[in-house]
């Protein structure tokens, strides 16, 4: 093959791979920045963006924090507040959930919020099998960081999904509905 033909094939391959990666990960234009004064942290994985009547509730994707009424829930919220304090948040919206909240991936200083919250020990990994969630959180569990503090590998820490399910069952048993 001639060098020119190889050059053309490699060039086309690079363009195709670049477009595929841009489609898969989303371009920079998909992300929006919100300064700290426009962000209100509701809990460890939910924020409100905006002021007054122009507010939007956003569920941060990729992780699940303890509820505020769960052990570690307030610590997770405080950790997210501290993370957002100086630079605000970058968001890329992916969906709307059953509660009408936008679902979005978040980033701070180029690092994914989900990754940082999990690594710092304040969140569970989301959307995977139980084994995967355990493996992803193994580092913080071994180090006793965040919500794993004072436990042996996180034994006894209730996953937020299980906690919400139990709370809903208790409400139904009392006749309270949702």
Choice between 167 and 45, residue whose per-residue pLDDT is larger: 45
Give me the pLDDT at residue 79, please.
Answer: 95
User: Residue 174 corresponds to which tokens in the numbers above?
Assistant: 């009392």
Give tens-digit pLDDT for 41-72: 999 999 999 877 888 999 999 999 999 999 89
Choice between 52 and 87, residue whose per-residue pLDDT is larger: 87
If you average pLDDT over every residue of the chain, what do you get? 82
How many distinct structural domains can be found in the chain? 2
| Residues sharing a CB contact under 8 Å with residue 39, sequence separation 6 or more, in sequence order | 47, 48, 49, 84, 88, 89
Give me the pLDDT at residue 28, please.
Answer: 47
Contact call for residues 147 and 117 (beta carbons, < 8 A): no
- In this prediction, what percent of the chain has a pLDDT beyond 70? 85
- 136 with 153, same domain: the answer is yes
Distance of CA 171 to the CA centre of its chain: 28
Task: Please name the residue ranges forming H helices in the chain.
Answer: 3-25, 73-84, 113-119, 130-136, 138-143, 160-173
Distance of CA 40 to the CA centre of its chain: 16
Give me the pLDDT at residue 63, please.
Answer: 92
- 15 with 75, same domain: the answer is no
Q: Which whole number is the average pLDDT over 67-81?
A: 93
Choice between 152 and 158, residue whose per-residue pLDDT is larger: 158
CATH of residue 65 = 2.40.50.90
- 10 with 44, same domain: the answer is no
Give tens-digit pLDDT for 90-128: 999 999 999 899 999 999 988 899 999 999 999 988 866
Domain span including residue 5: 1-26
**Residue 178 within a domain:** no
pLDDT at 178 over 70: no
Give me the pLDDT at residue 134, please.
Answer: 76
**Residue 145 within a domain:** yes
pLDDT at 27 over 70: no
- Indicate the DSSP class of residue 63: E
Give me the pLDDT at residue 122, please.
Answer: 93
Contact call for residues 92 and 30 (beta carbons, < 8 A): yes
């Amino acid at each position: 093959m001639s060098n020119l033909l190889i050059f053309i094939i490699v060039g086309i391959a690079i363009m195709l791979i670049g477009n595929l990666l841009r489609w898969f990960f989303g371009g920079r234009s998909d992300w929006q920045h919100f300064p700290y004064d426009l962000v209100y942290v509701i809990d460890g994985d939910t924020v409100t963006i905006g002021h007054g009547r122009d507010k939007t509730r956003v569920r941060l994707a990729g992780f699940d924090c303890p509820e505020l009424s769960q052990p570690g829930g307030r610590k997770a919220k405080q950790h997210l507040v501290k993370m957002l304090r100086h630079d605000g948040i970058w968001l890329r919206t992916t969906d709307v959930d059953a509660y009408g909240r936008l679902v979005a991936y978040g980033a701070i200083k180029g690092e994914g919020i989900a990754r940082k919250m999990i690594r710092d020990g304040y969140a569970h990994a989301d959307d995977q099998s139980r084994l995967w969630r355990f493996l992803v959180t193994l580092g913080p569990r071994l180090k006793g960081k965040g919500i794993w503090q004072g436990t042996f590998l996180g034994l006894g820490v209730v996953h937020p999904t299980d906690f919400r399910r139990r709370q809903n069952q208790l409400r139904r048993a009392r006749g309270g509905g949702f």
